[in-house]
Amino acid sequence: MLFHRGPLTVGDQALELAVAHALVRRASSGEIDGVLRVYRPSGAVAVFGRRETRLEGFPRAVRAVSGARFEPVVRATGGRAVAYTEQALVIDHVSRDLHAPQALDQRFETFGRMFADVFRRLGVDAHVGPVPGEYCPGAQSVNARGVVKLVGTAQRVVRDAWLFSSLVVVGDAARVRPVLTDVYRHLDQEFDGASVGSLRGEAPTLDLDTVEDALLAAYGDLGPLEPTPVDARTMDVANELVVQHRVQV
């Protein structure tokens, strides 16, 4: 299992997403078997689903997030819009799997339970299940007290491989909330800003280091996690794909 830790030095949020896309492409072709990548975003970002780019209100949503100094990008995985800042963790887990489509729901359930277990050990009243009015709604959202969302998860399944991407909001819920409110209003989608939560909002002493270390420990069954840089071949593929993750309005 390859392990990549940390953001790209360029600080390009579209390229960060393109790396995950490149990794699942390479797993699909059999070039790599599995990768875990964990990084802290180097800037504030609003990530749109591909279908949202075709909605009438998308240009207005992009202007709103840009005005709030969030970088608008488009992701390869499914789901609706999310937003986060440097006070978050992005975890991209890629695996070559000849039966990738069959276990899609099971992966949502398994990883959701894993995150909730980790957070409970950190002192957060975490559960798995939907939150009324949440951003990027899903049956396996990780929440606190059943009322605020802490983690958004999404998948991309390709031939013989899958990408499971998780956004863990550690802090800055107050900064993210108005941005998401504007986005969902412009896209004419249901949303309740009160559903936006963070780990630090539940347990104020938590920091990024503590959360990251606890989550990496939970991935221990993947084997030793010795960090290596993202390799040149992956970066070549990511640079070819990055245009798909940049916003075109």
Average pLDDT over residues 55-81: 95
Q: What is the DSSP string of the chain?
A: -EEEES--TT--HHHHHHHHHHHHHHHHTTS-SEEEEEE--SS-EEEE-GGGGGSTTHHHHHHHHHHTT-EEEE-SS-S--EEE-SSEEEEEEEEE-TTGGGGHHHHHHHHHHHHHHHHHHTT--EEES--TT-SS--TT-EEETTTEEEEEEEEEEETTEEEEEEEEE-S-HHHHHHHHHHHHHHTT----GGGB--HHHHSTT--HHHHHHHHHHHTGGG------PPPHHHHHHHHHHGGGGB---
Residue 95 is predicted with a pLDDT of 97
Mean pLDDT across the chain: 96
Residue 210 is predicted with a pLDDT of 98
Give the pLDDT confidence of 161-213 residue by residue, as tens digits: 999 999 999 999 999 999 999 999 999 999 999 999 999 999 999 999 999 99
The label of the residue with tokens 């990511």 reads 238
Give the pLDDT confidence of 99-133 residue by residue, as tens digits: 999 999 999 999 999 999 999 999 999 999 999 99
pTM comes to 0.96
Residue 9 is predicted with a pLDDT of 82
| Whether the predicted pLDDT of 90 surpasses 90 | yes
Burial 103-113 (b: 16+ CB within 10 A, else e): eeeebbeebbe
Residue 165: beta bridge partners?
Answer: 92, 154
Q: Which CATH architecture has domain 2-104+150-195+204-242?
A: 2-Layer Sandwich (3.30)
Query: Could you tell me how far CA 28 lies from the centroid of its own chain?
Result: 20
| Whether the predicted pLDDT of 24 surpasses 80 | yes
Domain definitions of the chain by residue range: 2-104+150-195+204-242
